[in-house]
Amino acid sequence: MYSDPVFGPFGGGLFNVLFTIVPIIVIGGVIFVFGSIIYRAVTNVQQPLLTRRARVVAKRMRHSTHHHHHGDHHHSSVHTAYFVTFEFDDGSREEFSVRGDQYGLLAEGDIGTLQSQGTWFKGFDRDL
């Protein structure tokens, strides 16, 4: 039996195994991410549209930076995710992801009517 000094008795076996496993892991990861997104959307669609009195108790942002390399060119892109926490009359709280324009219109202490469906923020009408 031939024994390669680098790959051992399997010849290019390590390369072949990695060449098979890495794409499976990547494709599996992509399928998992899209499956999670679809599952969350289907679950939210099945939930009732709730209209509740609420108060804005917290706002936060999460920044993530993605570095891109294209040959000799390097650039970064920054993504900002916006979150608002609402408190309800019973004292419970829920945090929702919101768009940047919605985030900018809300201030801590605002009181009004929140519309949500599952984990989706649908809107907030501030009391005048």
Domain ranges for the chain: 1-46, 49-126
Q: What's the token pair of residue 104?
A: 């900018």
CA distance linking residue 89 with residue 117, whole number of Å: 18
Residues in the chain where the model's pLDDT stays below 70: 1-12
Pair 81, 101: CB distance under 8 Å: no
CA distance linking residue 36 with residue 23, whole number of Å: 20
What pLDDT, on a 0 to 100 scale, did the predictor assign at position 12? Answer: 62
Q: Per CATH, is 49-126 categorized as 2.70.98.40?
A: no
What pLDDT, on a 0 to 100 scale, did the predictor assign at position 127? Answer: 94
Concatenated DSSP letters of 91-120: S-EEEEEE-HHHHHH--TT-EEEEEEETTE
